[in-house]
Amino acid sequence: MGFKFENLDVWKLSLEYSDLIYELANKLPETEKFNLKSQIIRAATSISLNIAEGSTGQSDA
């Protein structure tokens, strides 16, 4: 049995979005590796994490 957020379409879409962002971030110049690239990847990752966190403790009502 999985977690409730794993059934949410928006969570699934956020994972796809994160994959796309990772691909795009890896195309950034090496000079941006520790600045822009790092920030973009952290922001993309936080989307799915925030959705999961926000779905805890919610009732079905």
Compute and round to an integer the Cα radius of gyration of the chain.
14
Q: Which domain holds residue 22?
A: 7-53
Average model confidence (pLDDT) across the chain: 91
- Confidence check: pLDDT of 59 > 70: no
Residue 28 identity: L
Is 43 contained in some domain? yes
Is 21 contained in some domain? yes
Is 58 contained in some domain? no
What's the pTM? 0.79
Which pair of tokens denotes residue 22? 């990772």
Confidence at 48, pLDDT banded by 50, 70, 90: very high
Q: Which residues contact 34 (CB under 8 A, 6 or more apart)?
A: none
Is 19 contained in some domain? yes
Is 37 contained in some domain? yes
Is 1 contained in some domain? no
Give the whole-number percent of the chain exceeding pLDDT 70. 90
pLDDT of residue 33: 84
How many structural domains is the chain composed of? 1
